[in-house]
Structure 1
Amino acid sequence: MRRAVVACALLGALVGCNETPADHLQRARDAIFEKNPDEALVEYRKAFDMLRRDDSPQSLVLRARALKGAADVYWLEQRKVKEAVSVYKELIQQCPESPEALEARIIVAELLRVHYRDLRGAIDQLTAALQRNPPQGAELQYQVAKLYFELGDYAQCELEARKLGERFASSTFVDDALYLQAQAVHMMEPRRQEASRLYADLRTRFPESELAPHALVEMGKIRADSGENEKAIEMWVDALKTHPDPSLVQDYITRARRRITSTTPEAVGQKAWAFDHGKAPARAPRNSVEAVGGTAEEAAKDHGD
C-alpha cells in the first residue's frame, strides 16, 4: 500500500515537471474566464517563475505575456492601481521591445495621469511609445500635446500639436491638433491674432469638422476682446447654424449686444440720468429767456405765447 502511495506521488511530481509556462498561461486565462482573478495571478506568477532564467526569444515572448496578463488582472479585474503600475513597469523593463511593453506604456501613461496626476510621467511614457512608431502614433502625439496644455506649458503644446500635423498629415486627428494649437496660442496674450488665423485655417481646411463651429466661436471671442462687438456677433450668428450648444452662443451674442448698447452716446446719457437720484433730465430751454434763468411764464409772455 505504501509503495502505491509513493508511486502516485512520484507520478504527480512527474506530471508537474512536465507542465510548461504555456500550460500556466492557459490556466490563467481560464481562471479569468471563470471570474477567478486570484487564481489567474497564481498561474501567471508560476509561468513567470519558470521563464525567469530563460532568455531565449520564445521565453521572452511568453514572459511578456505573463507579466502583461498579471498587470491586466490587477488593473482590469481588481482595480488595484499601484500593483498594476508596478507590474506594467516590470514588463517594460524586462521586455522593452515587446508589443506588450508598448501597450503597457500607454496604459501606464493613463494611470499616471488619472490616478496620480503625474503628467510629466505620462508624457515620458507616451514619448517612449512614440519612438516605436506605433500604428496609433497620431493619437499618442495628440495626447502628448494635450498633457502639455494641462500643464500650462502652452509653447510646448503648440510645438507638439504642430508636430502631429507634420508627421501624420493624413490622420483624423489633424483638425483636433490644429484646434489645440490655436487654443495654446490663444492662451499666450500677445499672439491672439495668430490664434484667430489658426482657427480660420481650421475652418478652411476642415469645414465639415465638428470643431469648425467651435473655432468660429473662438474667433468671435477674440474680436469681442478687441472691442469689435459687431463683427463678433456676425461670427456667432454664423456659428449658431451648426454649433452643438446654441444657447451658449446666444448668450455670447446677448452680452455683446449689451456692451454695444451700454457704450452708445444715448445709452451713456441714460446711464447718467439713472445715477442722478432717479430724476428725469431737465427740459431743454425753449428760448433765450429761459436760458438765462427766466421762468417758463416769462418766456411765454415775452414771445406772446
Structure 2
Amino acid sequence: MRRLMLVLALALAPGCSRDSATDHMQRARDAIFEKRPDEALVEYRKALDALRTDETPQAQVLKARALKGAADVYWLELRKVKEAASVYKELIAQCPESPEALEGRVVLAELLRVHFRDLRGAIDQLTAALARNPPQGAELHYQVAKLYFELQDYQQCVLESRKLTERFATSAFVDDAIYLQAQALHMQALGAQPGSPEVQRYRQEASRTYADLIARFPDSELAPHAVFEMGKLKAEAGDNEKAIETWVQALKTHPEPAMVQDAITRARRRITATLPDGLDRKSAFDHNLKHRNSVEAVGGSADEAKRDYGD
C-alpha cells in the first residue's frame, strides 16, 4: 500500500506542480493589472519554483511564459533594464525554441542597442530571431542593416540591405532598404581616398541606387529625399550646375524646401566663386545674350540672378 501511494504521488506531482504554477501566474497577471509589479515578480518566481523539477513539454511552455512575464514586468512596468535583460537571457537559454524566446530576442536586441550600446550583441539576437523565420522578418532584417550602418560597417550594410530587397521583395521595407543601401554607398564614397577610382565608383553606385528607388517607388516618402541626395552627389563631384538642376526638381515635393533652397543658393555661390578673374559678371549674366546662364537653365529668373550675383 505504501509503495502504491508513493507511485501515485510521483505520478500526480508534475500535474500538481503545473496547477500550482498556473495559479501563481494568474496571480501575477492580476497583480500587474492592479499596478503591483513587485508582487507580480514574486508570483512569477513562485511559478518557476513550482516547475523546477518538471521536464514535461507542458512545463516548458509554462516556464517560457513565466520567464517572459517576469522579464516584461522588469522592463515595461519597472524600467529596470539590467534585470530585464538578465531575465530575457534566461528565457532564451532555458526555452530557446519557444515563441516567447523569439519575442524576447527582439526586445533584448533593442535593450542592448539603446541602453548598453552593444550593437554587435543586438545584431546577434536579431540574426538568431531571423533564423526562426518570424512573420516580422523584413522589419528585423532592416534593423540589422541599420545596426551595421550605425557601426559604420557600410559594406555589410549594403549587403544586408540587398539581401532584404531580394528575400522580402514585396515587403513595405523595400524602399527603406534601398535608401539605406544608397546612403551606405554614399558614406563609402565620402570615406574613400580623395581622387581615387573608388570615390567615383561609390558615387555612381549610390546615384544609381537612389534613381532605382525613385523609379520603383515614386510615391514613397523617401523619393524626394533620394532626389536631394542625388544632387549632393553631383555637388560633391564638382558639378554644381547639375546639382542645382537636381535640387530644383527636389523642391517640388521635398518636405523641407528651405533646406533645398539653401543648398541651391550655396551651389550658385560656388559657381560664382569659380568664375575667371577677368570675366565681367554683368556680361556673364546679361540676358540679352543668346546663351542662357546656369540660373535660367534650371528654371531661375533674371531677378534671381541679379540678387545672387549683383548687377
Q: TM-score, normalised by structure 2?
A: 0.79
**What is the aligned-residue RMSD (CA, Å)?**
1.6
Query: Residue 244 in 1 paired to residue 244 in 2?
Result: no
Secondary structure at 1:256 match in 2: helix
Q: CA deviation at 1:264?
A: 1.6
Matches within 5 A, 1:6-85: 20-85=20-85
For 2:153 and 2:220, how far apart are their aligned partners in 1?
26
Match of 2:240 among 217, 229, 234: 229
3-state SS of paired residue (2:109): helix
By how many angstroms is 1:265 displaced? 2.5
**35-44 or 185-194, larger mean C-alpha shift:** 185-194
Highest Rg: 1 or 2? 1
Name 2:157's counterpart in structure 1: 157
Letter in 2 for 1:255: R
Take 1:267 and 1:242, find their aligned partners in 2: how far apart are those partners? 39
Instruction: Write out per-residue CA displacement over residues 16-46 of structure 1, whole angstroms, 9 at most, x where no aligned residue.
Output: 9896211111100000000000110010001
- What pairs with 1:1-305 in structure 2 (closer than 5 Å)? 20-189=20-189, 190=199, 191-265=202-276
Post-superposition offset of 1:269: 7.3
Secondary structure (helix, strand or coil) at the match of 2:160 reads: helix
**In structure 2, do the counterparts of structure 1 residues 245 and 42 end up closer, same or farther at CA, with 3 Å as the change threshold?**
same
Deviations 1:35-66 (A, max 9, x none): 00011001000111111211211111111000
Q: Which runs of 5+ in 2 are unaligned?
A: 1-15, 190-198, 282-311
Q: Deviations over 1:233-284 (max 9, x none)?
A: 11111111111111111110010011111112368778xxxxxxxxxxxxxx
Mapped partners of 1:157, 1:267: distance in 2: 48
Distance 1:18 1:47, change over 3 A: closer
- SS at 1:265's partner residue? coil
TM-score, length-scaled by structure 1: 0.81
Q: Which runs of 4+ in 1 moved over 6 A?
A: 267-270
2:294 is matched with none
Alpha carbons 1:165, 1:177 under 8 Å: kept: yes
Partner deviation per Cα, 1:219-246 (whole Å, 9 max, x = no partner): 0011111121111111111111111111
Q: In 2, distance between residues paired with 1:54 and 1:31?
A: 25
Deviations 1:142-180 (A, max 9, x none): 000000001010110000000000100000000000000
Q: Match for 1:213: what amino acid?
A: P
Structure 1 residues 51-60 or 90-99, which shifts more?
Answer: 51-60
Alignment gaps of 5+ in structure 1: 1-15, 271-305
> Contact conserved, 2:183 with 2:206, CA < 8 A, in 1?
yes
Q: What is the aligned-residue identity percentage?
A: 75
CA shift digits 1:100-145 (9 cap, x unpaired): 0000000000000000100000000000000000000000000000
Amino acid at match of 1:220: G
Between 149-158 and 184-193, report the one with greater CA deviation: 184-193
Task: In structure 1, give the amino acid aligned to 2:29.
Answer: R
8 A Cα contact 2:92 2:101, kept in partner: yes
Structure-2 separation of matches of 1:234 and 1:227? 13
- Write the distance in 1 (CA, Å) between the matches of 2:164 and 2:257: 31
On the 8 A contact 2:51/2:63 being kept in 1, the answer is yes
SS in 2 for 1:20: helix
Q: Distance in 2 between matches of 1:239 and 1:18?
A: 63
Distance 2:252 2:91 in 1: 51
